[in-house]
Amino acid sequence: MSESMKNTIFLTGATGFLGSYVTDRLLADTTHELAMLTRADSREAGIDKLWRAMQLHMDAHTFRGYLDRVRFIPGDLTAPGLGLALRDRHYLVEHAESVLHIAASLNRKSEKACLNQNLRGTLAVVQLARAMHDDHGLRRFSHVSTVAVAGARDSEHVFEDDAIDWDRSDYDPYGRTKKFCEHMVRELLPDVPKTFFRPSTVMGDSRFPDTTQFDMVRAFCVLADLPLLPLRGDGRMDIVNADWVGRAVATLHMAAAPSAEIYHLSAGEDSPTLHEIAGAIARHKGKRPPVFLPALGGPFARTMSALSNLRRRSLPQLVGSLFTVFLPYITYDTVFDNRRAVEALGVRPVRFTEYCAELYDYAKRVGYRYPAEPLPPVFDAASGAASLPAAGDERSA
């Protein structure tokens, strides 16, 4: 493979929450071109969509400086052949040196969404990767999975190679389809170097309170405001900071020879207990910590299920839906061993208790909605006029 000709990473999910963290690291730490699958029909639309994701990480000047290394590939995970134009498919097959597949449906309630985006989408990405490898040989296929492939767990410590048990039940369609996605990648790309990343609950950034992902954060804030919690206080919650996860994915994807094929991107043995998390928030608010009453767990779960089934969309219905989805991941008291990733990176994730208070304040302040700003126009000093960002060449329109 010629380095001058094969210097492109094909990337899905670049504009998602986790994808933006990986993209940030790839842009900062490599010189590769990033060919991004995106549901945008022009370069201008792609720039706008990418900016909405990347403004969490960089200013407009820095963002514009990276655009000459970004190629937008119009497409859709659920379309036949990813919906790629013939010229874009040819370009990727001939130039991609690796594939980093992040895009997925996180809709844990919808079997249809998970089947279409996770299974059908991953199959289409794998088929494209197969063509790339047959053309010139792929350096790596990296797949962002989830610790949820481990299925239903209770008070366990799970290692990477022992996580998948096909006889074990799954919590939801998300975990079930992601488990089969891993199987599909192994079966269809047996001769391609592969890396599987399994994040646990990714919530917040250890460096600043801002976030663009609020579903799990809202559930966390609701729990933090309750005087009584229908949970076990000694139950561990494996929450990991997004900045560490993004760094891990980018670093290990670019590594010449990772020491393992599977990495848990998790808090591991540093997972705090629910009592520790509640105590950190209580101290921040200057209030007494909540009382834990695990005997109320059953009635609470049934109440949340009833609220989630309300026909009219409302705040109670939203809260019920959130807890119906996330309660198993809050109460399973299971951690996922992260020593492989920690050893590879040389740094541990930051404990959630060290930054959860700032995240709580931020989410409340912005009303669980990221205040995205449009990309400011470029000021042309010669003409004294403002203009939109340059569209770049037509190669990726």
Last residue of a domain, one of 142, 177, 199: 199
Q: Give residue 321's identity as a one-letter amino acid code.
A: S
| 211 shares a domain with 191 | no
Is the separation of the CB atoms in 12 and 76 below 8 Å? no
Determine, yes or no, domain membership for 146.
yes
| 101 shares a domain with 11 | yes
| 152 shares a domain with 191 | yes
Determine, yes or no, domain membership for 385.
no
Determine, yes or no, domain membership for 72.
yes
Determine, yes or no, domain membership for 284.
yes
Least confident of 48-62, 219-233, 303-317, 376-390: 376-390
Tell me the CA distances in angstroms from 358 to 216, 244, 281, 304, one per residue in order.
15, 17, 9, 27
CA-based end-to-end distance of the chain: 26
Q: Is pLDDT of 390 > 90? A: no
| 218 shares a domain with 175 | no
Determine, yes or no, domain membership for 10.
yes
- The average pLDDT across 95-109 equals 90
Q: What are the tens digits of pLDDT across the range 17-38?
A: 999 999 999 999 999 999 999 9
User: To the nearest 5 percent, what fractions of the chain are helix, strand and coil?
Assistant: 50, 15, 40
Q: What are the tens digits of pLDDT across the range 229-254?
A: 999 999 999 999 999 999 999 999 99
| 166 shares a domain with 100 | yes
| 90 shares a domain with 8 | yes
| 194 shares a domain with 104 | yes
Q: Is pLDDT of 322 > 90? A: no
Determine, yes or no, domain membership for 305.
yes
Give the separation between CA 179 and CA 187, rounded to whole angstroms: 13
Mean pLDDT (the chain, rounded): 91
Is the separation of the CB atoms in 25 and 247 below 8 Å? yes
Share of the chain above pLDDT 90, in %: 77
| 228 shares a domain with 139 | no
- pLDDT on residue 6: 67
Q: Measuring CA to CA, which residue among 46, 51, 45, 52 is closest to residue 63?
A: 51
- pLDDT on residue 308: 83
Identify the domain containing residue 151 by its residue range.
1-199
- pLDDT on residue 225: 92
| 101 shares a domain with 232 | no
| 223 shares a domain with 139 | no
pTM of the model: 0.92
- pLDDT on residue 150: 96
Q: What is the number of domains present in the chain? A: 2
Least confident of 127-141, 322-336, 363-377: 322-336
Determine, yes or no, domain membership for 390.
no
Q: Measuring CA to CA, which residue among 124, 149, 127 is closest to residue 138?
A: 127
CA 91 vs. chain centroid, Å, equals 27
Last residue of a domain, one of 180, 199, 218: 199
> Residue 304 is inside which H or E element, if any?
helix 297-308
Q: Is pLDDT of 2 > 50? A: no
Share of the chain above pLDDT 70, in %: 94
| 191 shares a domain with 211 | no
Instruction: Assign 110 a pLDDT band (cuts: 50, 70, 90).
Output: confident
- pLDDT on residue 310: 85
- The average pLDDT across 118-131 equals 97
Q: Is pLDDT of 385 > 90? A: no
Both tokens of 310, joined, read 């309300």
| 229 shares a domain with 130 | no
The CATH number assigned to the domain holding 52 equals 3.40.50.720
Q: Give residue 89's identity as a one-letter amino acid code.
A: R
Q: Give residue 343's identity as a one-letter amino acid code.
A: E
Q: What are the tens digits of pLDDT across the range 147-167?
A: 999 999 999 999 999 999 999
Looking at mean pLDDT, say which of 3-12, 169-178, 316-325 comes out highest: 169-178
Last residue of a domain, one of 179, 199, 219: 199
Q: Is pLDDT of 3 > 60? A: no
Give the separation between CA 278 and CA 235, rounded to whole angstroms: 12
- pLDDT on residue 4: 42
Determine, yes or no, domain membership for 22.
yes
Give the separation between CA 164 and CA 235, rounded to whole angstroms: 22
